[in-house]
Amino acid sequence: MSVSKNAKTTGRTGFTLRTALRELIRTIPDVVYFKDKNRRYLVVNEAFVELCGLTNAEIIGKTDETIFPADLAASFRASDGRVFESGTVFRFEDAVRDPRGRRIVFETIKSPFRSASGNVAGILGISRDITARRRMEEALRESEERFRTLYENATVGLYRTTPEGRILLANPALFRLLGYETFEEIASRDLEREGYGPGYSRAAFKERLERDGFIQGLETAWKRKDGTTVYVRESARLIRSADGASIFYEGTVEDITERKRAELELRTSEEKYRRIFDRSLEGILQTSLDGRILAANRALVRMFGYASLEEFLSVNMSDLYVDLEARDYMIESLRAGDEVRNLELRMRRKDGAEFYALMNVTALRDPAGRIERIEGMLTDITDLIQSRADLESALREKEVLLKEIYHRIKNNLQTVSALLGLQGRCFQDPETVRAFAETQDRLRSMAMIHESLYRSDRLSGVDFPAYVRNLAQALIGAQETSPGRIKLRLDVEPVSFDLKTAVPLGLIINELVSNALKHGFPRDREGTISVELHRRGEDGFHLSIRDDGIGLPPDLELGRLDSMGLCLVEMLTGQIDGRLRLGSAPGANFEITFRAEVS
């Protein structure tokens, strides 16, 4: 009875366990299957059925070759063979495609199960879908790769340290910034004791970071490996553990050495120009278009008689002009251009006294071209104006004196000429009388030069065209007994020569024109005398005196002249460093080239 009862109880328990196991296998999300030693499926769960897209009846008793594509079936048979041969568990990953074509990655475990005799009777397989996990791992790997690329190629230094100063991470940009080649080199650096420039406090950095949790844009100086200084801009944050303890400092380091140097150069330049601005003896100012004084140096404040810069800045520039029309002219000139140079103005000091100033100003414009500010310099030229007035007065007095001298010289020359004329009447010899007459002509030529200077508004030079015209007309009028028989043609460059050049040229023209009148047109012969003067180059001139008379003797040569007049011409040409050339076809032709300054 009892035996029968125990057997019945044991049978019910076994049935219950088998039923529970079958239900567990059926509903487990992993793919579960049993194969016999002939690789035929004995048991599969619902996940396996769903994966294959077949019914349970279409799978049980079939092999992989019947259910799966040939390549996949071959792969399954190979892994089954490994378990059968070794009798051990085999773990691996493989990929299959479900009926919808999706690729699924499985992590598979194949274990042998044995018969009562201990032989391998079949295989138990469990495959878990790890597709999502693999995607996450791949995404994580790609993310880490992007981060590493960014980390290693960043242009700013990146780091992670412990609060005690041990360097855990540092990117290549930080190596290069501090002059190191490898991470190992920089990691050996003790941040608590070394590596910072004067004025940097590691303790203050830590205190601020622990208090605020971050530091933004701290500018300071660090020391490179070789001891040189590098200026950096550092930002950092504190990383805490779950319990709030400080575990890491992370941050960025930007090299701002060039910017610091540029700022230093700019500051040095500004200080230099500020010193020039403050110490300049000339008044320097900056104003708005409506006359508000925006900046002024001490020299300008003193120039206008104000006690302080603040007092001067409260004044409008329009109050400092004696003539407001001058300011209007300056503004209009700036609107038309960008600067006004050497503008002389009458200005008014604080006490009402007037003074003269020389203004040079420039307009500063906005991007639209409108005048934003006016900058410039003022120079007190009151003494210069007075000196100029005194000089002009002295020059007028000198001109009066020089004119009087020229007048007296002219009168004296005329007196000598008159005496020679009286003396010449005492002689009967024609040659002697002619010599006296020629000397009178020469004196008349010199007297006419001084007469020209006496009557001129400019005493620095002789108006040569007018002088030549008067001289030639006087010579023709004095020697020609038949008016109109000999004509005069003048073509003289409008220039003025000083006495050093005008006197020799006047005597040369006097001699050659007189010579043409006396010898070129005998027996009432008619003709023309031409006098031409033209420039040759920058300071060169060409003087030509010619006639269409009977010409020069064929045997006449320079250097062998018997005529006193022609000898005088040759001598005077040398006096002005000129060159004389003779010609006689047709008539006489004298050409002189020389250099002279025009007054």
| Tens of pLDDT, residues 438-476 | 676 666 666 665 565 445 555 467 788 888 888 788 778
Give the Cα-Cα-Cα angle 320, 324, 325 (nearest 5 degrees). Answer: 150
* 473-516 per-position pLDDT tens digit: 877 877 665 778 889 999 999 998 887 888 888 888 888 888 88
Quick one: average pLDDT of 567-585?
85
Averaged over 172-180, what is the pLDDT? 89
Q: Which of 284-293, 392-401, 446-455, 473-482 has the highest mean pLDDT?
A: 284-293
Decide if pLDDT at 595 tops 50.
Answer: yes
Predicted confidence at residue 404, as pLDDT, reads 56
Residue with structure tokens 């300054």? 597
| Tokens encoding 193 | 């004791």
pLDDT reported for residue 123: 94
Q: According to the per-residue pLDDT averaged within each range, which of 189-193, 320-324, 498-502, 510-514 is highest?
A: 320-324
pLDDT value, residue 587: 87
Q: Is the pLDDT assigned to residue 153 strictly greater than 90?
A: no
Tell me the pLDDT band of 8, cut-offs 50, 70 and 90. Answer: very low
pLDDT digits (tens, 9 = 90+) for 327-361: 999 999 999 888 899 999 999 999 999 999 999 99
Backbone dihedral angles phi then psi of residue 310, each to the nearest 5 degrees: -60, -45
Contacts of residue 598, defined as CB under 8 A and 6 or more positions apart, other chains included, come to 461, 495, 496, 497, 539
Of 12-16, 296-300, 423-427, minimum mean pLDDT range: 12-16
In this prediction, residue 211 carries a pLDDT of 93
Rounded-to-5 percentages of helix, strand, coil across the chain: 45, 30, 25
Q: For position 37, what pLDDT does the model report? A: 92
3-class state of residue 322 by DSSP: coil
pLDDT digits (tens, 9 = 90+) for 355-376: 999 999 999 999 888 999 999 9
* Residue 5 in this model has a pLDDT that exceeds 70: no
Instruction: Quote the pLDDT of residue 453.
Output: 47
Residue 18 is predicted with a pLDDT of 73
Task: Render 95-163 in DSSP notation, one character per residue.
Answer: EEE-TT--EEEEEEEEEEEE-TTS-EEEEEEEEEE-HHHHHHHHHHHHHHHHHHHHHHH-SSEEEEE-T
Q: Is the previous residue joined to 586 through a cis bond, with omega within 30 degrees of 0? A: yes
Instruction: Identify whether the C-beta of residue 209 lies closer than 8 Å to the C-beta of residue 215.
Output: yes
**Residue 286: pLDDT over 70:** yes
CA 5 to each of CA 1, 9, 111, 451: distance values in angstroms, whole numbers, following the listed order: 6, 6, 37, 172
Question: Which pLDDT score is estimated for 451?
Answer: 62
Distance from CA of residue 97 to its chain's centroid? 67
CATH superfamily of 20-134: PAS domain (3.30.450.20)
pLDDT tens-digit series, residues 90-143 = 999 888 887 677 888 999 999 998 988 888 999 999 999 898 888 898 888 888
Q: What is the pTM of this model?
A: 0.41
Indicate if the pLDDT at residue 43 is higher than 70. Answer: yes
Taking 60 as the threshold, does the pLDDT of residue 57 lie above it?
A: yes
| pLDDT, the chain, mean | 84
Question: In terms of CATH, what superfamily is 280-380?
Answer: PAS domain (3.30.450.20)
Give mean pLDDT, residues 407-411.
Answer: 61
- What's the CATH architecture for 460-599? 2-Layer Sandwich (3.30)
CA atoms of 138 and 146, how far apart (whole Å): 12
Distance between CA atoms of 309 and 287, rounded to whole angstroms? 14
- Structure confidence at residue 447 (pLDDT): 65
Q: Is the pLDDT assigned to residue 409 strictly greater than 70?
A: no
**pLDDT tier, 399 (very low <50, low <70, confident <90, very high otherwise):** low
- CA 77, CA 86: separation in Å to the nearest integer? 14
In the chain, the amino acid numbered 369 is G
The predicted model gives 208-214 an average pLDDT of 92
Residue in this structure with the two tokens 């769903």, named with its chain if needed:
50
**For 25, left (φ over 0), alpha (ψ -120 to 50), or beta?**
alpha
So what's the pLDDT on residue 502?
A: 82
- 297 versus 479: the higher-pLDDT residue is 297
In this model, does residue 547 exceed pLDDT 80?
A: yes
Is the Cβ–Cβ distance between 251 and 170 less than 8 Å?
A: no
Give residue 34's pLDDT: 93
Check whether domain 154-261 has CATH 1.10.287.90, yes or no: no
